[in-house]
Amino acid sequence: MSLDNFIPEVWSARLFENLKKAHVFPNLANTDYEGEIRQVGDKVRINNIGEISVGNYSKNTNMSSADDLTSSQTELDIDQQKYIHFQIDDIDQAQMKPKVMDAAMTDAGYALADEVDKYIAALHAQAGETLTEDSLTDENIIDELGEASEKLSENNVPQTGRWIVLPPWAIKLLVKGEIISFGASANATGGTIEADASYRAGWVDRAYGFDIYMSNNLAVYDTTGVHALAGTRRAITYAGQISSMEAYRPELRFANAVKGLMVFGSKVVDSNALVNLQIKED
């Protein structure tokens, strides 16, 4: 690959697209503020409007004075930095017929995806509700989904857009209990997974009002369990950016090298819309 053909903006976009195809949790968070970040240390200030009161109206009677809107502010810190840095020797590149740089960039995207996914999964401690079940079986796992749904409903979380992320062994229990059919082709809206592939990464099926996802990146609970998570997009916000991408020729090598820097941040902005399920298989 000639460095004359290397366009940083194009490679940066390609890396970010690979990233979106590889992970689960950032696709379940809201990304409303993603375009506002540039570098580590940036802060995104998120304003939340307070409740608005409703009064009774009587004909020919003045309404009460207008409410003064109140607001609270949450800060999203862009405090995470991850980089990739690799080189391809000219001889290796000449001998490999496939597009080796494309393959390397894809692998880099998956590697970064893992880091982002694990980071967001580790936000379980910020959930507003926590459920614990140390002996999940194919017979009682549906009860765990029901309790998670109940907690969200008690917090007035809309039923639309609810998701739950479970480990592979919990998916096995759901299939064994005939609650879901692994690899179902229809999504919640009656379409196909392929129609929304970026959002459907890790999607398995739908049950108890949840879109069910599978992930190996859930945080460990008590050495043998995991912190599964259930919620909606309003629970977590995430913003990530490939802030720098460079190609260069190492001075003492006949090789092409690439280095890239990604910055990101994520936090729970509505804890009432997130449930932490501390679960173990029986």
Q: For the segment 151-204, what is each residue's pLDDT rounded down to a tens digit?
A: 999 999 999 999 999 999 999 999 999 999 865 544 444 434 444 444 467 899
> What confidence tens digit (pLDDT) does each residue in 115-157 have?
999 999 999 999 999 999 999 999 999 999 999 999 999 999 9
> In which residue are the tokens 């049950």 written?
207
Strand-pair category, 236-248 with 255-268: antiparallel
Residue 178: CB atoms within 10 Å: 8
32-46, 53-67, 233-247: which range is least confident on average?
32-46
Residue 146: CB atoms within 10 Å: 12
Q: Give the pLDDT score at 251.
A: 92
CATH of 128-235+271-281, one of 2.70.98.90, 3.10.20.30, 3.30.2320.40, 3.40.640.10: 3.30.2320.40
3-state SS record for the chain: CCHHHCCHHHHHHHHHHHHHHHCCHHHCCECCCHHHCCCCCCEEEEEEECCCCCCCCCCCCCCCCCCCCCEEEEEEECCEEEEEEEEEEHHHHHHCCCCHHHHHHHHHHHHHHHHHHHHHHHHHHHCCEEEEEEEECCCCHHHHHHHHHHHHHHCCCCCCCCEEEECHHHHHHHHHCCCCCCCCCECCCCCEHHHHCCCCCCEEEEECCEEEEECCCCCEECCCEEEEEEECCCCEEEEEEEEEEEEECCCCCCEEEEEEEEEEEEEECCHHHEEEEEEEEC
> What confidence tens digit (pLDDT) does each residue in 9-48 have?
666 766 776 776 557 998 999 887 655 565 666 777 776 6
Backbone angles phi, psi at 245, to 5 degrees: -145, 125
Q: Which of 232, 151, 223 is CA-nearest to residue 188?
A: 232
Q: How confident is the model at residue 53 (pLDDT cuts 50, 70, 90)?
A: confident
What residues are paired with 263 via a beta bridge? 81, 241
CA distance 60 to 97: 82
Q: Give the pLDDT score at 214.
A: 93
Q: Give the pLDDT score at 145.
A: 97
User: Is 90 exceeded by the pLDDT of residue 225?
Assistant: yes
Find the mean pLDDT for residues 237-256: 89
pTM across the whole model:
0.79
Q: Give the pLDDT score at 35.
A: 56
Q: What is the dihedral of CA 208, 210, 211, 213, to 10 degrees?
A: -100
More confident residue, 107 or 115: 115
Q: What is the dihedral of CA 33, 73, 227, 275, to 10 degrees?
A: -110
> What confidence tens digit (pLDDT) does each residue in 70-105 have?
666 678 888 999 999 998 888 776 666 556 777 788
More confident residue, 262 or 106: 262
Q: Give the pLDDT score at 191.
A: 39
More confident residue, 223 or 60: 223
CB 244 within 8 A of CB 261: yes
Q: Give the pLDDT score at 182.
A: 67
Q: Give the pLDDT score at 187.
A: 44
Q: Give the pLDDT score at 197.
A: 44
